[in-house]
Amino acid sequence: MMPHVFVYGTLRGGGRNDIARYRPAPKFIGQACIAGTLLDLGAYPGIVLGGERRVRGEVYAIEPAVEAALDVLEEVADDDSGEYIKRQVRVEVNGQWFDCLVYEIHPTRIAGLEVIESGDWIAHAARSDAAFSQPKD
């Protein structure tokens, strides 16, 4: 059985690291939300799992080769010293439950980061890009 992954940042469809670019091609399962707080690290987000907030994302079925590539992208370390820690969460998509991998930002890297109130990285990044490109008076 192929593993599933919940992506919430640049790996989402249309994101800078769109997961569709990986091979073998991931299979889109659907959009979902999970409990967590989304943090702005500048060019990409991080999630802290749990709590009352919700984070928007997408669920994909992936081959082990894609999981290995994501581990490299997310800088996962066997001793949990990397930028992200690979976790597993249960995610509901259209009434079905999936055990999904999710990459949680390492707790030593969250101090002082801005919370993305919407829980939606794609919308947040689009607003940030629009604000950045506006001429200053």
- pLDDT tens digits for 55-106? 999 999 999 999 999 999 999 999 989 999 999 999 999 999 999 999 999 9
pLDDT the model gives residue 18: 97
Q: Bigger pLDDT: 14 or 1?
A: 14
How high does pLDDT run on average in the chain? 92
Residue 37 has pLDDT above 60, yes or no: yes
Residue-wise burial string across 24-54, b where 16 or more C-beta atoms lie within 10 A, e elsewhere? eebeebeebbbebbbbbeeebbbbbeeeebb
Q: From CA 112, how far away is CA 40, in angstroms rounded?
A: 10
Contact of 57 with 8, CB cutoff 8 Å: yes
pLDDT the model gives residue 119: 98
Q: What is the DSSP letter of 46?
A: E
pTM here is 0.92
